[in-house]
């Protein structure tokens, strides 16, 4: 078959057009690639007749994935996490994160997945820092979940906070409610912060 002819019927009467293709990757936003479509005016076939798009799409996906990792690294840096500490916790060679961030090194698909999980569950990094100890990992998880619940609680202007305390033998999760009221406490009531222990 001659080049630039319809691969179905061989006609040279083909037209080429471009249309935008949106590529969405969590934590890197949308990216649009102009993909090529051919139409054969003789037999009516449509498609990417000469395989021009796959390379462009692959390139755009790679770029988006690099951006995912760069954005998540930024997030951790903004939250005062050191890159060297992250590399140690995750068992990555030194300066890997900087190379991913600058685009000097392309993160693997599994690294991209890991970083998406880390962005949704940043406490996974603490689990890694504790060498994946099962019990500590469960505590970190539950404490984070409780904090989320408490952070979304609201009763007037009272301030809620939660935390986790543990010793070798005991541990407890606490929920603290601090009254913001400046008024004189009603009779029989205390204006002291109330603490509920679970
Ligand atoms: Zn054709």
Q: Are 36 and 70 in contact (CB under 8 A)?
A: no
Ligand 1 mean position to 98 CA, how many Å?
A: 50
Ligand 1 mean position to 2 CA, how many Å?
A: 12
Q: Is the pLDDT of residue 186 over 70?
A: no
CB count, 10 Å around CB of 143? 19
Domain assignments of the chain as residue spans, ordered by start: 1-132, 133-198
In angstroms, the CA 109 to CA 77 distance is 22
Q: What is the pLDDT of residue 54?
A: 94
Q: Is the pLDDT of residue 129 over 80?
A: yes
Q: What is the pLDDT of residue 1?
A: 46
Q: Is the pLDDT of residue 185 over 60?
A: no
Task: Give the neighbor-by-neighbor strand order of the sheet with 29-40.
Answer: 14-25, 29-40, 46-47
Smallest CA-to-CA distance from 91 within 53, 60, 132 is with 132
Ligand 1 mean position to 46 CA, how many Å?
A: 8
Per-residue confidence band for 193, with pLDDT thresholds at 50, 70 and 90: very low
Tell me the sheet residues that pair with 166.
Answer: 171
Q: What is the pLDDT of residue 183?
A: 52
Mean pLDDT of the chain: 86
Ligand 1 mean position to 19 CA, how many Å?
A: 20
Q: Are 46 and 39 in contact (CB under 8 A)?
A: yes
Ligand 1 mean position to 164 CA, how many Å?
A: 69
Q: What is the pLDDT of residue 148?
A: 85
Instruction: For the chain, give the percent of residues with pLDDT over 70.
Output: 86
Q: Structure tokens of 6? A: 């319809």
Ligand 1 mean position to 162 CA, how many Å?
A: 68
Give pLDDT tens digits for 44-85. 999 999 999 999 999 999 999 999 999 999 999 999 999 999
CA 29 to chain centroid, in Å, comes to 11
């Amino acid at each position: 078959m001659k080049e630039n002819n319809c691969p179905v019927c061989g006609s040279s009467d083909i037209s080429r057009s471009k249309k935008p293709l949106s590529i969405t990757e969590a934590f890197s936003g949308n990216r649009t690639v102009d993909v090529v479509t051919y139409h054969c005016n003789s037999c009516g076939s449509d498609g990417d007749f000469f395989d021009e798009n796959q390379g462009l799409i692959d390139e755009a996906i790679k770029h988006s994935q690099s951006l995912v990792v760069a954005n998540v690294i930024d997030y951790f840096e903004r939250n005062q996490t050191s890159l060297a500490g992250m590399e140690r916790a995750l068992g990555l060679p030194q300066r890997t994160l900087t190379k991913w961030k600058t685009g000097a090194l392309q993160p693997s698909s599994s690294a991209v997945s890991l970083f998406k999980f880390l962005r949704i569950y940043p406490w996974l990094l603490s689990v890694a820092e504790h060498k994946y100890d099962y019990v500590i990992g469960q505590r970190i998880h539950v404490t984070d979940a409780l904090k989320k619940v408490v952070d979304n609680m609201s009763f007037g202007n009272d301030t809620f906070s939660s935390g986790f305390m543990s010793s070798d033998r005991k541990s407890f999760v606490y929920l603290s409610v601090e009254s913001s009221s400046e008024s004189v406490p009603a009779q029989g009531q205390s204006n002291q912060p109330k603490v509920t222990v679970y």
